[in-house]
Chain A
Amino acid sequence: MLIPHPLLGPRDAQEFTYLGDARLIDRPDGMAEGAGAAFHDYLYLRDNPAGPHRELWYHEHGDRSWLVVTRDTTTHEILGAELVKGPGR
């Protein structure tokens, strides 16, 4: 698989490590009411879709950026990739 890195162009997926569903970016507030249940859902439950899936890939053997890659889990076709946006970026 080739991942179209927004800065570096097409890169072999072997340069990356895979973390999982991109919803892992949305970490719940640990101080909020009901944080235990929110963290259970966050850590353990997945949509696990058959079809387009937004997922986190880390360019470990490259520029060490985190990407959100959209990939079809039924065909492995990569539909797009973008840099993770977050605090400080």
Chain B
Amino acid sequence: MSYSGFRILREALRGHRGWRPLWRDPEPQSEYDIIIVGGGGHGLATAYYLAKVFGQARVAVLEKGWLGSGNIGRNTTIIRSNYLLPGNQPFYEFSMKLWEGLEQDFNLNAMVSQRGVLNLYHSDGQRDAYRRRGNAMILSGADAELLDRDQVRAMYPFLNFDNARFPIRGGLLQRRGGTARHDGVAWGYARGADRRGVDIIQNCEVTGFVIENGVCRGVETSRGTIRARKTGVAVAGSTGRVMAKAGMRLPIESFVLQAFVTEGLKPCLDGVITFGAGHFYVSQSDKGGLVFGGDLDAYNSYAQRGNLPVMEDVAEGGMALMPMIGRARLLRSWGGIMDMSMDGSPIIDRTPVEGLYLNAGWCYGGFKATPASGYCFAHLLAKDAPHETATAFRLDRFETGHVIDEKGVGAQPNLH
């Protein structure tokens, strides 16, 4: 189904009874070429690019719950490509470029808004680190501008510039960064994949893998056995649980990350701001709510809800950065399960089981990566070779010592 001004007018006159689902609800077939486990952002994007770019038609996406019910519906919608390390930054810049053409590509309004992402710095050392990061971004083809205090003040006069401990000295601005409508992203990919013949099968839980002589031949599901030449797993926070069914232990722990939104306010914050002295990031949604978040709850969790101490910590960060936030009332908070990897960077790779592929370890950064993650995973599944921007995301990098640790904190997932 497609939308147009004429269609809206017609439906308005007919009591909106003519709208139809955007995708089919097919019965699973007994065999496919490729199965994607997980119908979230990354899984749907993978199916979309498999069908559209790599010409794979016999593809199924299996989703335990309903489409887009995981972290694609539970994030703070920020898109950016402001990483430092050569293993990461070209990948995220590739993702940024896909974001820029996404709506035209799948012909759905995902409300991609390049409103600018500003990372504040509060000391000379932090400024130097951001200058280096900005240069790394520019080398990868991204944009970056180092702003001084007066330039930041001109953009956001309401920030607390005279915080006694952490005065704002300036910021690193990526103007091409911004936000996107998270559900629209899932819907656009789902409709695009469905139209190209991909079966999106909801309420279909994978209960095991069909592994014969060390080769994965498909999956056992709550709706029967489905065979496939290749199986790709993209289940984010559930990665540990699902891959345990293939007998695999992974360099991943699951944690809950909370996010918050205030009541709707008049437009007051037109970009994305991150606090450099604490962990706090904020933007304003198109409905007017301030959307913000901070640290993980620091212990393993699958609970999709966090606890009060982290809420307090996030609120303190917000008050230190922009005291006016204290006037807004909190409307909702929610939690999503993060697949925290041991170096804070993702994995898009084959596994020791032939025919079984893994896309995981997205930590906090899964949403912005959605287009490139799908594209690169599709590339790997279709061609059995990594995409040129994703060659560093290997599962065995911890064994070989090629970790990609942006923060340099080591194998302590709750610190990444």
Contact = CB atoms under 8 A, between A and B. Distances in A.
Nearest to B307: A1
Given A46-B252, A47-B240, A47-B244, A40 B303 contact: no
Interface in B240-262: 240-241, 244, 249-254
Chain A CB within 10 Å, residue with most, of B309, B411, B414: B411
Interface string A29-47: 0000000010011011111
Interface residues of A, dominant DSSP: mixed
B126 interface: no
B251 to A, nearest CB: 4
Contacts of A53: 300
Contact of B240 (A44, A46, A71): A46
A80 interface: no
Number of chain A interface residues as a range: 20 to 34
| Max chain B Cβ within 10 angstroms of own Cβ: one of A13, A17, A71, A76 | A76
Contacts, number: 68
A10 interface: no
Contact of A44 (B238, B251, B254, B299): B251
Given A55-B299, A73-B303, A75-B303, A47 B309 contact: no
Q: Is the interface of B mostly helix, strand, loop or mixed?
A: mixed
A48 B250 contact: yes
A6 interface: no
A4 B211 CA distance: 43
B240 A48 contact: yes
A22 to B, nearest CB: 11
A45 B303 contact: no
Nearest to B305: A76
Contacts of B109: none
Interface in A25-84: 37, 40-41, 43-50, 53, 55, 71, 73-76
B300 to A, nearest CB: 5
Given A20-B412, A46-B251, A76 B240 contact: no
Contacts of B252: 46, 48
B303 A76 contact: yes
A5 B302 CA distance: 24
Interface of B: 238, 240-241, 244, 249-254, 298-303, 307, 309, 342, 398-399, 411-414
Given A14-B309, A44-B398, A76-B301, 12 more contacts: A13-B307, A40-B398, A44-B342, A48-B240, A48-B244, A48-B254, A48-B300, A49-B240, A50-B238, A71-B299, A73-B301, A76-B303
